[in-house]
Amino acid sequence: AQRVTQPEKLLSVFKGAPVELKCNYSYSGSPELFWYVQYSRQRLQLLLRHISRESIKGFTADLNKGETSFHLKKPFAQEEDSAMYYCASYTGGFKTIFGAGTRLFVKA
């Protein structure tokens, strides 16, 4: 069965520190992986997707098929990065499954 695991419910870092939000997936095929973000009082929105290989707001994520991971990283966290982050897996059949989410809190 398709599953997405985010082991940390809460991650707290100081401004300027590196941050890594972990995501592991289980799926027998080749899913497409996404990171979605929800800032306070805003709707859930796409942050980045692995096929685009872009860096959005300083965040990057690399798909590691060997470890079935898609960790989200940023070298220097900013206060405005504080939000709820969800890893998601999209498979054939247009189905998207979400992880439980990690709340990132960046302290001044």
Partner 1 sequence: EAGVAQSPRYKIIEKRQSVAFWCNPISGHATLYWYQQILGQGPKLLIQFQNNGVVDDSQLPKDRFSAERLKGVDSTLKIQPAKLEDSAVYLCASSTTGELFFGEGSRLTVL
Question: Minimum distance between the CB of residue 48 and partner 1, rounded to whole angstroms?
Answer: 10
> Does 49 engage in binding with partner 1 (CB under 8 A)?
yes
Among 46, 54, 58, 83, binds partner 1 (CB under 8 A): 46
Identify whether the C-beta of residue 63 lies closer than 8 Å to the C-beta of residue 72. Answer: no
Stretch that binds partner 1, among 15-23, 58-66, 68-76, 83-91 (CB under 8 A): 83-91
CA 83 to chain centre: 11
Query: Considering CB under 8 A, how many residues would be counted as binding partner 1?
Result: 23
> Does 29 engage in binding with partner 1 (CB under 8 A)?
no
Give the Cα separation of 97 and 93 in Å (integer): 12
DSSP assignments along 31-99, one per residue? -EEEEEEE-TTS--EEEEEGGG---BTTBEE--BTTTTB--EEESS--GGG-EEEEEEEEETTTEEEE-
Residue with smaller CB distance to partner 1, 38 or 69: 38
Among 26, 64, 100, 107, binds partner 1 (CB under 8 A): 100
Residues that bind partner 1 (CB under 8 A): 4, 6, 9, 32, 34, 36, 43-46, 49, 86, 88, 90, 93-101
